[in-house]
Amino acid sequence: NAGVTQTPKFQVLKTGQSMTLQCAQDMNHEYMSWYRQDPGMGLRLIHYSVGAGITDQGEVPNGYNVSRSTTEDFPLRLLSAAPSQTSVYFCASSYSKAPNTGELFFGEGSRLTVL
């Protein structure tokens, strides 16, 4: 099973460039989300979606954009990259309806460096 697939795994950007982190899941999960991980701060929620066409902001949404046109895909867009966006990014998904174990399934992470 593929589970949650994130691409790319590594990316280096220059300040001001834009890019899209791709995320796809094949488990028919309603809920999908993006987190960023920074040292000493755990994982912080950027954006999330509870179904196709429905997205909402998390704790740290500024500088990021998302869309959910299909159940499977949830891309994260950096509109104009800044050094403060240097981080490891995780896409995660879960079931939202019974039988709902509540568990989040994670992608392998994407390390982004903004110079």
Partner 1 sequence: AQTVTQSQPEMSVQEAETVTLSCTYDTSESDYYLFWYKQPPSRQMILVIRQEAYKQQNATENRFSVNFQKAAKSFSLKISDSQLGDAAMYFCAPRFDSWGKLQFGAGTQVVVTP
CB of 5 to partner 1, least distance (A): 13
If one asks whether residue 99 binds partner 1 (CB under 8 A), the answer comes out as no
Binding segment for partner 1 among 16-24, 62-70, 71-79, 89-97 (CB under 8 A)? 89-97
- Six token digits for residue 1: 């099973």
Contacts with partner 1 by CB under 8 A lie at: 29-31, 33, 35, 40-45, 48, 50, 58, 88, 90, 92-96, 101-104, 106, 108-109
